[in-house]
Chain A
Amino acid sequence: MRLRMPFARGRKEFPSHLWTQCPGCGEMLFNKQLVRNLNVCTSCEHHFRFGGRERIELLVDRGSFEEHDSEMTSADPLVFADSKPYPTRIEAARAKSGEQDAVITGFALIGEVPTAIASMDFDFIGGSMGSVVGEKITRVAERALAERRPLVIVSASGGARMQEGTIALMQMAKIVAALGRLADAGLPFVSVLTDPTTGGVLASYASLGDLIVAEPGALIGFSGARVTDQTIGEKLPTGFQRSEFVLEHGFIDQIVPRAQLRDRLAFFLTAFRPVAHDMRWSL
């Protein structure tokens, strides 16, 4: 058996399947160790992106996740004329991410609190919100309402999905309307913003949480740097539209490192648990 030597002579760089360079501190990180550390740099705590399904595994009580609408897929309502047909893009995204669309929804326990959860996957066409994302989140919100569960949505999205045109835009209104019913029923909604949360997703449900928490260093903003550049010919300053900036300007409650996210959510959900005082012991 031949051992592969990462530092063998003649090799100019680290083999990328074994090592990743941290964009935060430049440190070379061994991939296995990076995964074990929840995709967070061991030396500077830079948070790499994290998949939608891993996120659910990270947040919910072990084995408690029950997925909903896992088979739902996108149609091509506009018959979108593109350099590459929309169904082909979907197929490619499915292969890349292993998911059917950009969100995973279902019921789970978080810190023993029965919760409805939606987790977005950035690997699926940039986590973009089309009909499937709209429908799945709306349904999970409606089910949360029916069973009186709090709702947690973890966002990771570039915004609305262009290939579904105005239909994608209307998903914003659809989800927000469903969240409104949840709010009317006094049920908590916690929004978790991860890298990146921008565009139509931030301009709808992601900004409407009773509590909004973000991961450190996540890109959080309404318009992309390119749009700003094109529209007003101004370059955005560095550090702009990051979690720390958004916290400073008062639009989120906390920045929570990935390793603490689960416990923090459990704390909030338990605090909001709709239980009458005299019933507390019977549960």
Chain B
Amino acid sequence: MVDKLLGKRTAVETNGHLPEAGLITDARAIAATRGTAWQAVQLARDPKRPHAQDVIAGAFDRFQELHGDRLFRDDPAVIGGIAEIDGLYVVVVGQQKGSSTEENIARNFGMPHPEGYRKAIRLYRLAEKFHLPLITLIDTPGAFPGPEAEERGQAEAIARSIEAMTRLATPVVVVVLGEGGSGGALALGVGDVVLALENAVYSVISPEGAAAILFRSNAEAQRAASALRLAGPDLLELGIVDALIPEPPGGAQTDHTATAKAVRAALTSELERLSRVPTADLLSARYERFRAIGVVVEPSAGQAPPKKEPWWRRGIGKVRL
């Protein structure tokens, strides 16, 4: 893992992920069992899927929830607090969806307001101050797009949250539990290690939104979902996530306990590794991890740029009569 953190990507066998953590680090390993992108989207959105609270209850030994952003109000779409895992204290922040309609209305369908992100930032700072590792759990269709969110600076809150995470001087592990919806998800998504459950999705825009823009029709969402390459194995191939946490057969919604156990195993092994890395190395590796994402084409360095034609060749402009 340290090798991997420091940017030396090595073969799957030697990249440090302990086999007992059971993580999937090669998309080919699950190529036979993977469904379509649209199936992944539906699994990720399944209301019966374990949400942040279920995972926290199952994966940690103790948890005390903390409330409020100290500025405006407590956002129920973001939960956070201090937890204990294997004798280690950590700060956990997650986006919370509901599993019933009433609960979803109370949780705003897991769509945070600016105060939710500001609560998250407050908890990040708490983790940094007392050098507790930070664990974030992503599960949101996106940041809330309503007028009150705009008034209170949704974009600014997300930007500050991303900024805080890029420089937080403590180990950060990100787990995408279900839906990773655009900037609203990335606000919790900058870490030393980014993991995702096998059927989680992570996307720049919802498949419906993409279909509406690209094909002028919501019905093409399935096509857009596969084009966006938002499913777990795709994210692994693109280097967006470092490893997938296997789900029980049939998906996480079938067995909450087993899912939480898998998350626990992954977290303990990652935290154990990260806790041995000096903070300065951690921060520079985190920088390099995100620095390396992006594909561009550049003309080869040795090649001189094409010379501009001299003005007498370009002509002064055609004389019109």
Q: Which residues of A contact B (CB under 8 A)?
A: 1, 69-75, 77-78, 80-83, 131-132, 134-135, 138, 160-162, 164-174, 176-181, 184, 199-200, 202-208, 221-223, 226-228, 230-232, 234, 236-237, 240-241, 249-251
Contacts A78-B227, A172-B162, A173-B166 known; 20 new A-B pairs at CB < 8 A: A71-B298, A71-B305, A81-B223, A131-B296, A161-B204, A166-B202, A166-B240, A169-B186, A170-B186, A172-B186, A174-B291, A179-B163, A180-B167, A184-B167, A199-B183, A203-B155, A204-B162, A232-B145, A250-B153, A251-B156
Instruction: Name the B residues within 8 Å of A81 (CB-CB).
Output: 223, 226-227
Instruction: Name the B residues within 8 Å of A234 (CB-CB).
Output: 146-147
Main secondary structure on B side of the interface with A: helix
A221 with B150, Cβ < 8 A, contacts A169-B204, A173-B166, A176-B162 known: yes
List 4 tightest A-B contacts by C-beta distance, closest first.
A223-B145, A131-B294, A207-B159, A177-B166
Contact B182 A228 (CB under 8 A): no
Instruction: Name the A residues within 8 Å of B258 (CB-CB).
Output: none
CB distance from A211 to the nearest CB of B (A): 14
Q: Does B105 belong to the interface (CB within 8 Å)?
A: no
Identify which of A72, A82, A162, A166 contacts B235 (C-beta below 8 A): A166
Identify which of B150, B152, B183, B223 contacts A241 (C-beta below 8 A): B150
| Chain B 162-216 residues near chain A, CB threshold 8 A | 162-163, 165-167, 182-183, 186-187, 189-190, 202-205, 209-210, 212-215
A177 to B172, CA, bound (A): 15
CB distance from A21 to the nearest CB of B (A): 27
Instruction: Name the B residues within 8 Å of A199 (CB-CB).
Output: 183
Contact A202 B155 (CB under 8 A): yes
Closest to B141 in A: A231
Main secondary structure on A side of the interface with B: helix
Contact B154 A223 (CB under 8 A): yes
Instruction: Name the B residues within 8 Å of A77 (CB-CB).
Output: 238, 295
A170 with B153, Cβ < 8 A, contacts A72-B296, A75-B296 known: no
Contact B158 A240 (CB under 8 A): no
Q: Does B297 belong to the interface (CB within 8 Å)?
A: yes
Contact B209 A227 (CB under 8 A): yes
Identify which of B205, B213, B294 contacts A170 (C-beta below 8 A): B294
Which of A74, A169, A171 has most chain B Cβ within 10 Å? A169
Instruction: Name the B residues within 8 Å of A237 (CB-CB).
Output: 147
Contact B163 A176 (CB under 8 A): yes
Contact A165 B296 (CB under 8 A): no
